[in-house]
Chains A and B, each alone.
Chain A
């Protein structure tokens, strides 16, 4: 569950461009590339590229053994992302000048969490289970100890505590050659969702015998009924229910079209001139809604019209969504100066530059709605005894408006095979990204209470009181990021048969960013109370009003160097095994520890 959420969040960041290197919607990265600082590629990195696909020979098959979901799976340790994964690449059999590759990732999980029920409501948990639990409790009690049952208590309770994680990602990549030209089309779609049935807030007023709900409670319902057995009459009833749930959803659609034409140049023959265009449509939503209802009611035998009840409903809702679309354009030049048997081992240089622009509708909404109603009618002709007391409270906070993302970048990569054992590469990337949000911020509180004495001809006790406060503001957010990356990787093939590879990579990253956040009040109404009495007279009272606008700025710059390493082994022409992080990551781990081996992250690739 936790891993799933992390996975979703990572994808969100990647797709929304909240990380410097915008590789949105991200295709899997090979272990070879991970170990070499992203400088040298493997077949996996090429088959999901709409142009490079045509250069990958043969058939490739990727399964869960390939460790492509997060790269963090530990096969020997049973640590898994719990996804179904299958991927392949091949030349289209009927279309000799066409190649295709796809990757399917799928997950549908439901987790049952502990539920506890206090069946007789005495404050002690009597029954524990997982997922869903329903309990019906019946008790016949002799309250006056005369040997006869006096009352019957019936308590029906249900609780549900589940987590859901489901979703899929599909990458379908195609490449075609027409004369000297190569055209590529890649489609990447995804739908990821997590869900739970627990409350995130404390709800209810705890009035009378109502217990309300606290944060973390599962969805529930409870119905308590007390029957006077001698009279066969139900004189008291209490019911509570909570319908809780949070749902986080990401849907995206990414289409990438590419065109490449080799050009003969004196200094670079051939020079691959390439143009990419992409379109992304994304819909992310994190929604939460917790609804609580409680009711307590007394009945009186012989008075059919008697009414005495209190009922309340409280709803907490929160919603954050980002919906929008964007475009990208990328132009690159690539020259393979030392072709190898496989494209992934070519000696080449490549330079590219690109531009991206995304527009979103950003929304953050938070709301708390509460209402209660108390009614008393004694069923008789008394005066000034019956009343209705109704309370309503609405607290709303909204941030809504457009969000824009812009990205400019350029990069140069050079991969050089020195000999049959040593293969090295360098990569430089320069990018500048900006995010901005112009949000309309509103916040308001509205409380009303209406009290009426219903059996009194005079109105002097009746009143309606309305208390409210509201505010509007311009909420502006800006983020600017300048990024410089210098990466280097060296792969060394050892053993005589050159089937083992030792890989080292380093990435130097300099980041410099600003973050501006301004909150400008534009409209504000003070806390006011409007009291309307039964005789029609009105009082309007205002409280002091304080307006607060603020502007903040954060500036940071960091330089980070990270090192990577990995191991590759190709026992046969049809199998490739890659390993990263094999020296462990826990302090004090010894090479002879079983845990040392269990923590290995392995990837198996089948080639035909």
Chain B
């Protein structure tokens, strides 16, 4: 029995200890945590972009009807959570629609203006007030009736009407026609390209044409009436006197067009002593010049050649035009030049490649040039190489009566463009620049040489020898693609008394 009592007393002791421990144990305050409301169960992007645009192009939307000239259909993945509150759609920052149906998946925004960018922002809100936002930038298509009409006679009963499409999302065109004396037009055809062959016209009649661009969802309406008088003429051109291209054996031909239905012109040539012409080339409609560069087979020095031209189309070719002959002469011997300027100023114009673009307009006096000449080449004495190739390096020349610049305004008119291509200078000393178009200097007026280049970046300046004349003989300007980004059109610059030392080859 004693052990039972001992167990009981021990149990009681344990009980008391448990009571003390549990009662005296310090309790910590209850933990709380920061509450963050849940975000909508929606992906980062939920607008269906693939139906609207691709790689920055809106053609996808234009041709599936989701983007039209006056409305855009926005589609999205419907919200899948059970805590949906609303969709909100903003256009250019302004709320345009609130949708409270969770299953909604599209919205048509109408009343839009064609050819306009719109920034859409769409948000999905849940009951906690949290939102997911997706944005997209869309552009309505330019959607105007066709314009810039023109036509070409194919034959006496067929006219080819063509136009410029002004509707980006149009897929087809309806062509309407009426006689000048009628009041109503009728549909004469539907095409998917920007031309229409009307083979049912009468030579001598006048017509009004209207064209309407359309797609499966909308049309532009008809264009303004285009008046067309059917007047089919295929006559031989008139050939002007050919000229030998200076410094070369090439021959430049030009003629007048006496037809209105040609597809182009054929150029024929024969030696003086031959009887038959040989076709040497063709140019398309609208071109009335041709340069005969066939120095491999012909155009030898001191030889005479006869030229003629015809007009042609698919239906016929006109007779030969009048004949013209030319004798190929030898050019003046190269290497003759006039050198102007003896100064040793190392000037950074015209090679001012520390900037994207630069222009240098220099006045050389007739007294310095000394004679009339055909300037075929110029040379500048380079002291420091330019840091980069000078793109769009242009040399222009013109006659002038001024002896110095009275203001800092560039002279921008009536130039002959003598050189226009990229120029890389890779050695110092006199650098010769052959002119692709020689300039005929008359020996009496003063000469303006305008030198410019147009780059998209800059490096370090190049320099050449220059002479200080004491009077304003140059105007310079440079820019980092500013001031209109076209140095040929700079209006003002800075006057200078320097002129680059130059050699004019003739």
Q: List 14 A-B contacts (CB under 8 A).
A: A353-B15, A408-B15, A410-B19, A430-B20, A430-B23, A431-B19, A476-B30, A517-B30, A518-B30, A528-B85, A545-B128, A547-B35, A551-B31, A553-B28
Q: Are B129 and A525 in contact (CB under 8 A)?
A: yes
- Provide the residues of chain A in CB contact with B379, threshold 8 Å: none
**Candidate in B20, B28, B86, B88 with the most chain A CB atoms within 10 angstroms:** B86
Closest Cβ–Cβ distance, residue A21 to chain B (whole Å):
14
Total A-B Cβ pairs within 8 A: 102
CB within 8 Å of B: which of A497-545? 512, 514, 516-526, 528, 530, 537-540, 542, 545
**Chain A to chain B: the 7 pairs with minimum beta-carbon distance, closest first:** A482-B23, A518-B30, A526-B129, A553-B29, A432-B23, A521-B35, A540-B86
Q: Given A476-B30, A552-B29, verify A408-B129 contact (CB < 8 Å).
A: no
Q: Are B27 and A516 in contact (CB under 8 A)?
A: yes
Q: Are B29 and A551 in contact (CB under 8 A)?
A: yes
- Provide the residues of chain A in CB contact with B8, threshold 8 Å: 333
Q: Are A538 and B35 in contact (CB under 8 A)?
A: no
A512–B1 CA distance with the chains assembled, in angstroms: 38
Q: Are A549 and B35 in contact (CB under 8 A)?
A: yes
Q: Are B98 and A538 in contact (CB under 8 A)?
A: yes
A537–B101 CA distance with the chains assembled, in angstroms: 12
Chain B positions 5 through 26: 1 when the CB is less than 8 Å from some CB of chain A, otherwise 0:
1001000100110111011100
Chain A positions 149 through 166: 1 when the CB is less than 8 Å from some CB of chain B, otherwise 0:
000000000000000000
Q: Are A265 and B19 in contact (CB under 8 A)?
A: no
A333–B15 CA distance with the chains assembled, in angstroms: 15
- Provide the residues of chain A in CB contact with B29, threshold 8 Å: 516, 518, 551-553
Chain A positions 100 through 135: 1 when the CB is less than 8 Å from some CB of chain B, otherwise 0:
000000000000000000000000000000000000
Closest Cβ–Cβ distance, residue B85 to chain A (whole Å):
7
Closest Cβ–Cβ distance, residue B282 to chain A (whole Å):
67
Chain A positions 333 through 366: 1 when the CB is less than 8 Å from some CB of chain B, otherwise 0:
1000000000000000001010000000000000
Closest Cβ–Cβ distance, residue A445 to chain B (whole Å):
14
A414–B86 CA distance with the chains assembled, in angstroms: 75
Closest Cβ–Cβ distance, residue A442 to chain B (whole Å):
14
Closest Cβ–Cβ distance, residue A324 to chain B (whole Å):
23
Residues of chain A touching chain B, judged by Cβ–Cβ distance below 8 Å, are 265-267, 333, 351, 353, 408-410, 430-432, 476, 478, 480-483, 512, 514, 516-526, 528, 530, 537-540, 542, 545, 547, 549-553
Q: Which residue of B lies closest to A263 (CB)?
A: B1
Chain B positions 106 through 126: 1 when the CB is less than 8 Å from some CB of chain A, otherwise 0:
000000000000000000010
A542–B34 CA distance with the chains assembled, in angstroms: 22
Q: Which residue of B lies closest to A264 (CB)?
A: B1
Closest Cβ–Cβ distance, residue A407 to chain B (whole Å):
11
Q: Are B19 and A430 in contact (CB under 8 A)?
A: yes
Q: Are A524 and B37 in contact (CB under 8 A)?
A: yes
**Is B100 engaged at the interface, CB distance under 8 Å to the other chain?**
yes
Q: Are A408 and B30 in contact (CB under 8 A)?
A: no
Q: Which residue of A lies closest to B5 (CB)?
A: A265
Q: Are A353 and B37 in contact (CB under 8 A)?
A: no
- Provide the residues of chain A in CB contact with B129, threshold 8 Å: 525-526, 528, 542, 545
Q: Which residue of B lies closest to A540 (CB)?
A: B86
- Provide the residues of chain B in CB contact with A516, threshold 8 Å: 27, 29-30
Closest Cβ–Cβ distance, residue B88 to chain A (whole Å):
7
- Provide the residues of chain B in CB contact with A542, threshold 8 Å: 125, 129
Closest Cβ–Cβ distance, residue A123 to chain B (whole Å):
48
- Provide the residues of chain A in CB contact with B27, threshold 8 Å: 478, 480, 514, 516, 553
Q: Are B98 and A519 in contact (CB under 8 A)?
A: no
Q: Which residue of B lies closest to A550 (CB)?
A: B32
A305–B12 CA distance with the chains assembled, in angstroms: 86
Q: Are A524 and B35 in contact (CB under 8 A)?
A: yes
A547–B24 CA distance with the chains assembled, in angstroms: 35
**Is B99 engaged at the interface, CB distance under 8 Å to the other chain?**
yes
- Provide the residues of chain A in CB contact with B100, threshold 8 Å: 530, 538, 540
A351–B12 CA distance with the chains assembled, in angstroms: 9
- Provide the residues of chain A in CB contact with B23, threshold 8 Å: 430-432, 480-483, 512
Q: Are A520 and B20 in contact (CB under 8 A)?
A: no
CB within 8 Å of A: which of B30-81? 30-35, 37
CB within 8 Å of A: which of B366-422? none
**Is B127 engaged at the interface, CB distance under 8 Å to the other chain?**
yes
- Provide the residues of chain A in CB contact with B98, threshold 8 Å: 537-540
Closest Cβ–Cβ distance, residue B28 to chain A (whole Å):
8
Q: Are A432 and B86 in contact (CB under 8 A)?
A: no
- Provide the residues of chain A in CB contact with B20, threshold 8 Å: 430
Q: Given A408-B19, A538-B86, A538-B100, verify A520-B128 contact (CB < 8 Å).
A: no
- Provide the residues of chain A in CB contact with B31, threshold 8 Å: 518, 551
Q: Which residue of A lies closest to B85 (CB)?
A: A540
Q: Are A353 and B33 in contact (CB under 8 A)?
A: no
- Provide the residues of chain B in CB contact with A522, threshold 8 Å: 35
- Provide the residues of chain B in CB contact with A267, threshold 8 Å: 5
Q: Are A523 and B12 in contact (CB under 8 A)?
A: no
A521–B36 CA distance with the chains assembled, in angstroms: 9
- Provide the residues of chain B in CB contact with A539, threshold 8 Å: 98
Which of A480, A520, A525 meets B32, CB within 8 Å?
A520
Closest Cβ–Cβ distance, residue A409 to chain B (whole Å):
7
Q: Which residue of B lies closest to A333 (CB)?
A: B8
Q: Are B32 and A518 in contact (CB under 8 A)?
A: yes
Q: Are A410 and B35 in contact (CB under 8 A)?
A: no
- Provide the residues of chain B in CB contact with A521, threshold 8 Å: 35
- Provide the residues of chain B in CB contact with A265, threshold 8 Å: 1, 5
Q: Which residue of B lies closest to A477 (CB)?
A: B30
Q: Are A525 and B127 in contact (CB under 8 A)?
A: yes
Closest Cβ–Cβ distance, residue A264 to chain B (whole Å):
9
- Provide the residues of chain B in CB contact with A482, threshold 8 Å: 19, 22-24
Q: Are A540 and B88 in contact (CB under 8 A)?
A: yes
Closest Cβ–Cβ distance, residue A367 to chain B (whole Å):
21
CB within 8 Å of A: which of B83-100? 85-86, 88, 98-100
A517–B125 CA distance with the chains assembled, in angstroms: 33
Closest Cβ–Cβ distance, residue A451 to chain B (whole Å):
19
Q: Which residue of B lies closest to A531 (CB)?
A: B98
Q: Which residue of B lies closest to A532 (CB)?
A: B100
- Provide the residues of chain A in CB contact with B127, threshold 8 Å: 525
Which of B32, B34, B128 meets A551, CB within 8 Å?
B32
Q: Are B22 and A408 in contact (CB under 8 A)?
A: yes
A410–B17 CA distance with the chains assembled, in angstroms: 11
Q: Are B30 and A538 in contact (CB under 8 A)?
A: no
A84–B129 CA distance with the chains assembled, in angstroms: 61
- Provide the residues of chain B in CB contact with A550, threshold 8 Å: 32
Closest Cβ–Cβ distance, residue B344 to chain A (whole Å):
77
Q: Given A266-B1, A538-B99, verify A523-B19 contact (CB < 8 Å).
A: no
Q: Are A524 and B30 in contact (CB under 8 A)?
A: no
A542–B2 CA distance with the chains assembled, in angstroms: 77
Closest Cβ–Cβ distance, residue B130 to chain A (whole Å):
9
Q: Which residue of B lies closest to A408 (CB)?
A: B19
- Provide the residues of chain A in CB contact with B1, threshold 8 Å: 265-266
**Candidate in A266, A351, A409, A482 with the most chain B CB atoms within 10 angstroms:** A482
Q: Are B32 and A408 in contact (CB under 8 A)?
A: no
- Provide the residues of chain A in CB contact with B16, threshold 8 Å: 410, 430
Q: Are B128 and A523 in contact (CB under 8 A)?
A: yes
- Provide the residues of chain A in CB contact with B28, threshold 8 Å: 553
- Provide the residues of chain A in CB contact with B86, threshold 8 Å: 530, 538, 540
Chain B positions 130 through 151: 1 when the CB is less than 8 Å from some CB of chain A, otherwise 0:
0000000000000000000000
A547–B34 CA distance with the chains assembled, in angstroms: 9
Closest Cβ–Cβ distance, residue B5 to chain A (whole Å):
7
Closest Cβ–Cβ distance, residue A562 to chain B (whole Å):
21
Closest Cβ–Cβ distance, residue B450 to chain A (whole Å):
65
- Provide the residues of chain A in CB contact with B12, threshold 8 Å: 351, 353, 410
A552–B88 CA distance with the chains assembled, in angstroms: 41
A432–B85 CA distance with the chains assembled, in angstroms: 50
A523–B35 CA distance with the chains assembled, in angstroms: 8
Q: Are A526 and B128 in contact (CB under 8 A)?
A: yes
- Provide the residues of chain B in CB contact with A528, threshold 8 Å: 85, 129
Q: Are A409 and B19 in contact (CB under 8 A)?
A: yes
Q: Are B32 and A549 in contact (CB under 8 A)?
A: yes
